[in-house]
Amino acid sequence: MKTNIESDKFKRGETHCSTWYVRAAFSTDFDTPYFYIDKILINDIPLTLNTIRITESLVEFEAYHDKLLDLIGKEVQVDYVVRSLVRKASNAFNIKIPVPTKDVRVTFDIKESDLKRITVVPFFTSKTPIQKHPDDEKNPRRIEIYLSDWLFPLSGVVCIWQQETID
């Protein structure tokens, strides 16, 4: 992602940047009242988030950190940590990646629920194999998938959960 910001809200000499507009590198049901962005990191810098507004595929947030000024106009890595409550009866949660994205890492974690097991089905369009890291081979409750290459648009991953374990 390039931070080509042309706004008078970004001035050298101030101790922070204010509003950043980031095209979301993922899409899901943003309209649900149970979708939360817990934190956003830019180049591994945890940001202090003042406000977040989500519209269609645009995540707009006000973030503060002294190091952000040096990143204006440069390519940066953006990490989103999100949480979403999803009805158990739906049995699946889908994340789509609508834009070309590099080094994609998606983690599903159901440890804070009474669900017993999850499976992930990635549909990544890339020539590089996907790395999948479950916390347990038989009955995983947390799975991380990672792709160390470019991912083409219309890729994504589905997380499917079950109430029973496999013996």
**164 pLDDT above the threshold of 90:** no
- Could you give the CA distance from residue 69 to residue 110 in angstroms, rounded to a whole number? 37
Kindly report, residue by residue over 51-81, the tens digit of the pLDDT: 677 666 566 677 777 787 788 788 888 887 7
Alpha helices in the chain (DSSP H): none
Kindly report, residue by residue over 82-102, the tens digit of the pLDDT: 777 777 788 888 888 877 888
Q: What b-and-e string marks burial along 10-45, b requiring 16 or more CB atoms within 10 Å of the CB?
A: beeeeebbbebebebbbebebeeeeeebeebbbeeb
- Could you give the CA distance from residue 13 to residue 29 in angstroms, rounded to a whole number? 39
Q: What is the pLDDT of residue 15?
A: 41
Q: How far is CA 29 from CA 88, 95, 103, 141, in A?
A: 15, 9, 23, 22
Here the contacts of 34-38 (C-beta below 8 Å, separation 24 or greater) are 34/84, 34/85, 34/86, 35/82, 35/83, 35/84, 36/82, 36/83, 36/84, 37/61, 37/80, 37/81, 37/82, 38/81, 38/82, 38/83
List, in sequence order, every residue forming a beta bridge with 55; answer none if it has no partner.
58
Mean of pLDDT values over 122-134: 90
The model's pTM: 0.67
Between residues 77 and 135, which one has the greater pLDDT?
135
Residue 8 DSSP symbol: T
Q: What is the CA radius of gyration of the chain?
A: 18
Kindly report, residue by residue over 13-54, the tens digit of the pLDDT: 444 444 454 445 555 555 555 667 777 888 888 887 776 776
